[in-house]
A and B are shown apart, each in its own frame.
Chain A
């Protein structure tokens, strides 16, 4: 992945910055430029907002066959997490054995390395989740 492409999303990937619609108050993570509820009325009114990212596992999978950037990590757990703040995000679950993960499990965010561009390439950091 090109470095600027990752860099642009760093506030969200490092600090769970999403957006809140200035028109209806609905919050979004990942961030959105337009509120899908308010459409035009939300243009220019989306504000940055930080999420806590605590929540529970909606569903998960244990990945055994991964792309190059993640093959050192297999088997790893990928999950959809529903934050207490009402939004959902996809991320890995760490500090948890694959056989221990379950739907409904409580998790909280953790800042970790999420991938790398080859052995000597850039290392990418961002959120994962761990049992809470």
Chain B
């Protein structure tokens, strides 16, 4: 295995991008990343793209060659592969690209993540999200995706005394961060009262406990670390990658309040990187619902099981506190184009480690972590990045 670096990043604005098609956002993010990396099109060996459900959202399968084609690389017969792992699609695309470079199969690889969710009705989009749970034994009985996360929240409240206010504080914090992110879907702060008074979606989760439906894309360019300086003065090393799986249905998990796949994926990633949770300066975690961020910060190991709500309430996850969690605004406020998420998280971490995050810059950041979840936790992938190279 050789060391791998990120040498380019790019992303579109996230939100309801009605004026832009799927291929346009895919191209935009890809071109930004390629330009940022100063690579030439003909140097690119492969494209991996994370996408959850283009077939249902825009009636288009086979989107990897489509994006490669419109980026102008079809003539070079570029190999282009789509990776699907529900909400973790983007993170899985990154890990495939990382392994391809680490194993010396490829040198320069572009990783994209893209989803166009707002061309379909909101109700239909929610059904597509629910299809990442077990259709036969969860969704068919009326368990919505929000409902499954609400059941995690209810049990967490029951076992650990987590409160609705603590859940709401996740949304308040992430909106505060997103207000400083020019590419975020919601660039406005949200008061605690607004979150608590919002209409219920699936009790105890209200409207503002849920990440939005979004359009958006993000991209990265990877190359071997020993060649990174040919392209950039500011390479970021991918220190490790850990992936884990679990039972498909929430009811089959060992503990409803623990995402075992996160625990295992994070352990693998920390072990390989040779660091501990205490060394991490910032983390982009999968906050598709407010409860998800609380589980994530416990299961990654930043806080003890059951303490995530209180830590959030006490401000220990705010920007430039104990650990800066979701400085981009997270899925909650930066937006949630599902398949783009894992790549967008990496874009934010790399930007932070380069010191280019502007008003939301995490100070003296050396290590950043991304945590990307598929379904209610049947797929989890964690990456650790090192800016000290």
Binding site for B on A (CB under 8 A): 1, 6, 9, 30, 58-71, 73, 76, 78-80, 88-92, 98, 103, 114-115, 124, 126, 128
A80 to B143, CA, bound (A): 10
A58 to B123, CA, bound (A): 28
Our count of residue pairs bridging A and B at CB distance below 8 angstroms stands at 97
Binding site for A on B (CB under 8 A): 123, 126-127, 130, 136-138, 140-144, 146-147, 150-155, 158, 199-205, 249-252, 256
Q: Are A90 and B202 in contact (CB under 8 A)?
A: no
Q: Are B147 and A61 in contact (CB under 8 A)?
A: yes
Instruction: Select from chain A the residue with minimum beta-carbon distance to B156.
Output: A59
In the assembled complex, how far is the CB of residue A5 from the closest CB belonging to chain B, in whole angstroms?
8
Chain A at the B interface: SS class: strand
A9 to B134, CA, bound (A): 14
Given A64-B202, A67-B126, A88-B252, are A78 and B142 neighbors across the interface (CB < 8 Å)?
yes
Contacts of A80 in B (CB 8 A): 151, 250-251, 256
Q: Are A90 and B256 in contact (CB under 8 A)?
A: no
Q: Are A65 and B158 in contact (CB under 8 A)?
A: no
Given A65-B146, A80-B251, are A90 and B137 neighbors across the interface (CB < 8 Å)?
yes
A64's partner among B126, B130, B153, B203 (CB-CB below 8 A) is: B203
In the assembled complex, how far is the CB of residue A102 from the closest CB belonging to chain B, in whole angstroms?
9
Chain B CB within 10 Å — which of A88, A90, A124, A128 has the most?
Answer: A90
Chain A CB within 10 Å — which of B137, B146, B158, B201 has the most?
Answer: B137
B144's partner among A59, A66, A114, A126 (CB-CB below 8 A) is: A66
Some 13 contacts from A to B, beta carbons below 8 A apart, are A58-B251, A59-B152, A60-B151, A61-B205, A67-B123, A67-B127, A78-B144, A80-B251, A80-B256, A90-B141, A103-B154, A114-B140, A114-B142
